[in-house]
Amino acid sequence: MFHESCFCWKVEFSICHVLIVNYFLSASTKEVILGTENGQIYETAVDEVEKREKYVKQLFELTELREAITGLQQMETASVGNATRYYVMAVTPTRLYSFTGIGSLEVVFASYFDRAIHFMELPGEIPNR
């Protein structure tokens, strides 16, 4: 079962969107991905007993067009041997990005440092009728 929720951290960057994938029976979250106002994506995990993050690491940064990440969706689509296949969507005001790969989220995003990032342009202003 999954549960999505939001909460605040005292950090040095502004977080625009938080996606928490939490198994109800666990004492800590699984991966939590965070999107910032300047196009960075971070991963963390939170210990629910101590209410503290276990770690925070930057996974990716949009460098071509720095925009706020206003939405994130993470899916585990399949198991391949002992590894997991991930699909992550990140939404900015003008683009929908998609990331996919096998392994940890860190491995998935690292593979995009030397290859093209897949995105779809979102429509601009809709004229008044």
Strands (E) located in the chain: 15-20, 32-36, 40-47, 52-61, 71-80, 83-91, 95-102, 118-121
Residue type for position 69: I
What is the spatial distance between Cα 122 and Cα 129, in angstroms, rounded to a whole number? 20
Each of the 129 residues of the chain gets a pLDDT tens digit; together they read 333 444 444 344 445 555 544 444 445 557 788 899 999 999 988 777 776 767 889 999 998 888 999 999 988 888 878 888 999 999 999 999 999 999 889 999 999 988 888 899 988 665 555
What is the spatial distance between Cα 58 and Cα 14, in angstroms, rounded to a whole number? 14
- What are the extents of the domains in the chain? 15-121
In contact, 53 and 34? CB cutoff 8 Å: no
DSSP secondary structure code for residue 106 in this structure? H
pTM above 0.85, yes or no: no
